[in-house]
Homo-oligomer: A and B are copies of this chain.
Amino acid sequence: MSESVRLLLADDEHLIRGALAALLALEDDLTVVAEAASGPEALAMALAHRPDVAVLDLQMPGADGVSVATSLRRELPSCQTMIVTSHGRPGHLKRALEAGVRGFVPKTVSAQQLAEIIRTVHAGNRYVDPELAADAISAGDSPLTVREAEVLELAADGAPVAEIAERAALSPGTVRNYLSSAVSKLGAENRHTAVRLARERGWV
């Protein structure tokens, strides 16, 4: 049937990918034409099989779903992309939408729902899980300046101020100022909880 939507499934969890392929194959207007277990593989398979829709897991070895979507947008514009994620955080959603992703759903949806969303995306529309969207909206825009976010990111792995200063080419004092203001903007107790909060809200 030439009407069938050609799908690429990319997920590093074989169990899920296989199960998903089996369930989606039950829908007679959906055809899984390729599967991949990593970011680079997904890209290669997409270019080889030219699917209509790419269903990408967010967390994959090599390159995450959003990077793959970005590449696909450039190299195979005819292919719509959508992200499926285990435990989604709003930051990824924002990144994904900026990358041109048309669908963003958690893995808590059922196969029926997923099939329906695939059709929606294939029709050129967008679909974002309402709950994730609400989270993203309630998280709002980052109150951090570019520098504050940069410094906060460098602080993420527990590096001391001196190291952050070196890596950011700033004076240690300045780094402490930025961290201090970031911490107070986020209402955190110290930079480490600040990093955590910013991560949760997708601001770094």
Contact = CB atoms under 8 A, between A and B. Distances in A.
B13 A158 contact: no
Number of copies: 2
Interface stretch (A15-23, A43-51, A140-148): A15-23
Interface string A188-204: 11111101100000000
Contact of A84 (B15, B37, B106): B15
A157 interface: yes
B20 A22 contact: no
A95 interface: no
B18 A23 contact: yes
B196 A158 contact: yes
Interface stretch (A68-76, A107-115, A118-126, A166-174): A107-115
A108 B19 contact: no
Nearest to A197: B158
Contacts of A130: none
A12 interface: yes
Interface in A1-42: 12-16, 18-20, 22-23, 37
Interface of A: 12-16, 18-20, 22-23, 37, 59, 84, 86-87, 106-111, 114, 157-160, 188-193, 195-196
19 contacts: A12-B108, A13-B86, A14-B109, A14-B110, A15-B107, A15-B111, A16-B19, A18-B110, A19-B19, A19-B20, A19-B23, A59-B86, A157-B196, A158-B188, A158-B189, A158-B193, A158-B196, A159-B189, A159-B193
